[in-house]
């Protein structure tokens, strides 16, 4: 009887053999008994013999044709090996949920070809033309490009033209974008230009839509697949090019279960498919800059804004002498100037809720989460204190739990309080607040964006959801509040991220003709980073950071992995990692450094204590060999069943 090898989504580094009445296509789904349950698995191979006796039988073969074709399976094998993650979990995570649940692989609603497309009424610039030609020159083999273009320089126009060219040759194009906030505008730009089916893959879709999009990518009907990070796994038989927009963005890294970087994996996928890879951004990550310096990426530059737009003027407001609350007088005056000229103004503050601190003015008490090392954030519209880490919430106390006085107050600002304060300063002006609280409803975000795109004067208040990709044509001024936390962070990447964020947020201003203005409020106006941000010299700033990283032998000049353990019992989490450290040190590999265990920067989250063990080496192969050895021996660690643990290869925070 034939035997099939099946990948099942369990946290074990192995596959499972089953008997089958007939051979099964590799990459097809089967329903198999597993313990007391029936589960869906993917067939990885057919064989005649198994090293196990008494095999159970396949219950049902769900597909005649493979769901995962050979190129995707090869790609997933590579990813599972690199991230040292169980193959079954990787393979099943790559499919939409309905396929994991065993639903039929059939398209419900076929989207048609566009009825009408329109072409732009401008000529491309010389810089754009050079970039397009450089990419098209190499379109028939693997080649990596960094498209480094300042915000508003017309990178998307470059994507559209190279995509059209690849479509003309019958190819499919995969475009990855950071987050849902960015997608509606991107989708419509691609849809209105290209005479092909553009399918989107992102979290706002329902499961039926996700399956349809996946299957249209797989059968080649979709010329363009535009998606967030998981779209890197979309099967595309005629894949001819991969574009990663805003490659520096942290959301390309999955931060739970299978912790992969879609940006990093795109190199492997492009190389396996032997096609070009384009990483676009105004603020390249240090990893990408190093790759371009090492010749792994060809750098293409768009140094100027497209059309008649110029870069915004950026200035600082020193908040050390400000006693007016969140908004300095100077900022309010500037806002007034633009609003009176019927322009839009945007304020960016990276905290939602009303106020981040609820405290006693008499003693030092402040409200903290019972389950986490973090303060409770006050939300006024529901009159509740909420923990943004575990989601716990409660009614605010009326009297101080420590001293009994009725002296409790809020301190600091979030988007909700900023909105309230602004409405007292500008009672006539509509205020549009965009954060996770105001966009939870489906469609809410697109309704807000529609209002902004109508161009009527308004004040936009938002969190980092607003930082990326949006192109608001009547937005003349951007105010950035409360970024100083970035200077105090212990993450060694914090200043890199802060510079990227400031430039991205600033890039929203003045896209259309008139020069825009950006104002940053800070208590650290002398920080050297501002010299570069104010004069738009990101590359020089990043080069300086790269030098520091090189002399400190930090990423991207060294490779890291993080082992995180967490448990309700603090000692268990720490001792588990001590034992792991002992095991790792017994592996003779002196090119790998081991640091820790140390408590996580937020030690307790939702009643679990988090500890970290860092591995670092400038020899990637050595690091990975150590991780593989660890994986083989992890079962020998005594506390293994008392903790939850995960491995994060190339961690970013
Ligand atoms: P980026 O993606 O680099 O931020 P976009 O592609 O969104 O930039 O371009 C910014 C704006 O400039 C868009 O409105 C776009 O239509 C316009 N644009 C792009 N290329 C040109 C060009 N060559 N001439 C005039 N306008 C252009
Ligand atoms: Zn008190
Ligand atoms: Zn909490």
DSSP 565-578: EEESSHHHHHHHHH
Pocket of ligand 1 (CB under 6 A): 122, 124-125, 128, 149, 151-157, 306-307, 471
Among 162-176, 475-489, 514-528, the range with the most confident prediction by mean pLDDT is 162-176
Same domain flag for 147 and 288: yes
Residues 93 and 161 in one domain: no
pLDDT of residue 443: 80
pLDDT at 470 over 90: no
- Measured CA to CA in angstroms, residue 324 lies from 139, 329, 331, 332, 521 at distances of 57, 7, 11, 11, 12
pLDDT at 522 (0 to 100): 95
Confirm whether 160 is domain-assigned.
yes
- Which residues of 501-592 form beta strands (DSSP E)? 517-522, 559-567
The candidate with the shortest Cα–Cα distance to 503, out of 528, 468, 527, 471, is 468
Say if 364 falls within a structural domain.
no
Q: In which residue are the tokens 């230009």 written?
A: 193
In a domain, 117, yes or no: no
pLDDT number for residue 361: 96
Which ligand 1 atom lies nearest to the CA of residue 158? Answer: 6
What is the distance in A from the centroid of ligand 2 to the CA of 397? Answer: 11
Residue 389, domain member (yes or no): no
pLDDT, tens only, 33-72: 999 999 999 999 999 999 988 899 999 999 999 999 999 9
Q: Which atom of ligand 1 is nearest to the CA of 120?
A: 16
Both structure tokens of 448:
């807000």
Poorest-confidence range of 126-130, 394-398, 546-550, 586-590?
A: 586-590
Q: How many CB atoms lie within 10 A of CB 69?
A: 16
DSSP codes, 1-35: --EEEEEESSSSS--EEEE-SS---TT-EEEEEET
Query: How does residue 180 score in pLDDT terms, banded at 50, 70 and 90?
Result: low
Pocket test of ligand 1: the residue of 146, 151, 156 to mutate, having most ligand atoms within 8 Å of its CB, is 156
Show which of 542, 569, 595 is a domain's final residue.
542
Above 70 in pLDDT, residue 150? Answer: yes
Closest atom, ligand 1, to C-alpha of 307? 25
Q: State mean pLDDT over 2-19.
A: 95
pTM of the model: 0.94
381 falls within a domain: no
Q: Which residues, including other chains, have CB under 8 Å from residue 102's CB and lie 6 or more apart? A: 29, 31, 40, 62
- Residues 285, 425 within the same domain: no
Mean pLDDT, residues 632-653: 92
- Distance, in Å, from the CA atom of 128 to the CA atom of 300, rounded to the nearest integer, reads 9
Same domain, 270 and 176: yes
Residue scoring higher pLDDT (13 or 166): 166
Provide the pLDDT for residue 545. 96
Protein residue with least CA distance to atom 26, ligand 1: 307
**pLDDT bucket at 469, cuts 50 / 70 / 90:** low
Note the ligand closest to the C-alpha atom of 401. Answer: 2
- Mutate which of 128, 154, 177, 302 for ligand 1? The one with the most ligand atoms within 8 Å of its CB, which is 154
pLDDT greater than 60 at residue 211 = yes
Nearest ligand to the C-alpha atom of residue 400: 2
Predicted confidence (pLDDT) per residue in 396-449, tens digit: 999 999 999 999 999 999 999 999 999 999 999 999 999 988 888 878 888 898
Last residue of a domain, one of 517, 542, 567: 542
**Do residues 320 and 212 both lie within one domain?**
no
Number of domains making up the chain: 4
C-alpha 59/C-alpha 54 separation (Å) is 15
DSSP annotation of 35: T
Q: What is the mean pLDDT of residues 452-468?
A: 88
Output DSSP code: residue 614: E
479 and 450 co-located in one domain: yes
In a domain, 401, yes or no: no
Measured in angstroms, how far is the CA atom of residue 392 from the centroid of ligand 3? 6
**Residue 465: predicted pLDDT:** 79
**387: pLDDT strictly greater than 60:** yes
- The two beta strands, 408-411 and 357-360, are antiparallel
CATH number, position 63: 3.40.1440.60
The residue whose CA is least distant from atom 9 of ligand 1 is 154
- Domain co-membership, 158 together with 201: yes
For residue 326, give its domain range.
Answer: 313-355+412-542
pLDDT at position 182 is 56
pLDDT(256) > 70 = yes
Q: How far is the CA of 10 from the centre of ligand 3 (A)?
A: 29
Nearest alpha carbon, ligand 1 atom 20: 154
Same domain, 170 and 261: yes
Task: Give the pLDDT band (50/70/90) at residue 181.
Answer: low
Q: For residues 600 and 510, state if they share a domain.
A: no
Does residue 107 belong to any structural domain of this protein? Answer: no
CATH number of the domain that residue 251 is part of: 3.40.50.300
Nearest CA to ligand 1 atom 21: 306
The SS3 of residue 194 is: coil
> Which residue's alpha carbon is nearest to atom 19 within ligand 1?
154
The answer as to whether 391 is a domain residue is: no
pLDDT at 179: 76
Of the candidates 31, 66, 100, which is a domain's last residue?
100
Shared-domain flag, residues 330 and 277: no
For residues 85 and 165, membership in a common domain is answered with no
Both 205 and 67 in one domain: the answer is no
């Amino acid at each position: 009887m034939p035997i099939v090898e099946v990948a099942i989504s369990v946290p074990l580094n192995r596959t499972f053999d089953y008997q089958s009445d007939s051979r099964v296509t590799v990459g097809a789904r089967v329903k198999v008994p597993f313990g007391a349950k029936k589960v869906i698995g993917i067939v990885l191979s057919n064989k005649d013999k198994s090293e196990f006796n008494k095999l159970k039988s396949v219950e049902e073969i769900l597909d005649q044709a493979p769901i995962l074709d050979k190129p995707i399976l090869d790609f997933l094998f590579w990813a599972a090996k690199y991230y040292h993650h169980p193959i079954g979990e990787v393979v099943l995570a790559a499919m939409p949920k309905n396929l994991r649940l065993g639903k039929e692989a059939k398209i419900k609603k076929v989207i048609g070809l566009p009825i009408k497309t329109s072409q732009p009424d401008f000529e491309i610039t010389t810089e754009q033309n050079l970039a397009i030609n450089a990419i098209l020159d190499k379109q028939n083999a693997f080649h990596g490009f960094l498209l480094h273009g300042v915000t508003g320089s017309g990178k998307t126009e470059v994507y559209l033209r190279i995509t059209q060219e690849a479509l003309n040759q019958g190819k499919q194009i995969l475009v990855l974008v950071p987050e849902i906030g960015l997608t509606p505008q991107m989708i419509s730009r691609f849809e209105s230009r290209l005479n092909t089916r553009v399918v989107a893959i992102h979290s706002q879709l329902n499961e039926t839509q996700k399956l349809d999009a996946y299957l249209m990518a797989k059968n080649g009907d979709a010329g363009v697949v535009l998606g967030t990070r998981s779209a890197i796994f979309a099967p595309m038989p005629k894949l001819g090019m991969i574009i990663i927009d805003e490659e520096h963005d942290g959301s390309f890294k999955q931060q739970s279960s299978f912790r992969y970087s879609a940006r990093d994996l795109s190199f492997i996928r492009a190389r396996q498919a032997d096609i070009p890879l384009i990483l676009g951004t105004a603020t390249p990550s240090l990893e990408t800059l190093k790759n371009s310096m090492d010749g792994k990426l060809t750098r293409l530059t768009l140094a100027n804004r497209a059309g008649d737009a110029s870069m915004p003027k950026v200035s600082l407001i020193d908040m050390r002498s400000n006693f007016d609350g969140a908004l300095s007088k100077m900022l309010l005056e500037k806002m007034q100037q633009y609003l009176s000229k019927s322009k839009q103004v945007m304020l960016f503050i990276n905290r939602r809720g009303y106020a981040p601190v609820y405290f006693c003015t008499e003693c030092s008490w402040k409200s903290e989460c019972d389950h986490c090392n973090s303060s409770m954030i006050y939300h006024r519209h529901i009159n509740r204190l909420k923990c943004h880490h575990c989601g716990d919430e409660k009614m605010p106390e009326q009297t101080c739990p420590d001293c009994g006085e009725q002296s409790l107050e809020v301190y600091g600002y979030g988007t909700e309080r900023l909105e309230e304060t602004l409405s007292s300063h500008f009672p006539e002006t509509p205020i549009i607040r965009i954060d996770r609280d105001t966009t939870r409803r489906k469609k809410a975000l697109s309704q807000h964006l529609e209002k902004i795109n109508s161009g009527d004067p308004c004040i936009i208040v938002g969190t980092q959801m607003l930082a990326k990709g949006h192109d608001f044509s009547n937005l003349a001024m951007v105010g950035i509040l409360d970024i100083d936390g970035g200077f105090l962070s212990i993450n060694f990447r914090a200043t890199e991220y802060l510079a990227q964020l400031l430039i991205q947020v600033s890039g929203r201003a003045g896209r259309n003709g008139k020069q825009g203005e950006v104002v940053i409020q800070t208590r650290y106006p002398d920080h050297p980073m501002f010299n570069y941000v104010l004069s738009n010299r990101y590359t020089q700033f990043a080069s300086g950071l790269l030098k520091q990283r090189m002399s400190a032998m930090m990423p991207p000049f060294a490779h890291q992995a993080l082992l995180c353990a967490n448990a309700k019992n603090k000692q268990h989490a720490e001792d588990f990692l001590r034992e792991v450290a002992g095991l790792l040190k017994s592996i003779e590999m002196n090119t790998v450094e081991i640091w820790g265990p140390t408590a996580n920067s937020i030690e307790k989250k939702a009643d679990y204590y988090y500890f970290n063990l860092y591995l670092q080496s400038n020899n990637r192969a050595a690091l990975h060999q150590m991780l593989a050895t660890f994986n083989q021996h992890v079962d020998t660690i005594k506390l293994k069943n008392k903790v939850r643990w995960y491995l994060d290869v190339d961690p970013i925070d």
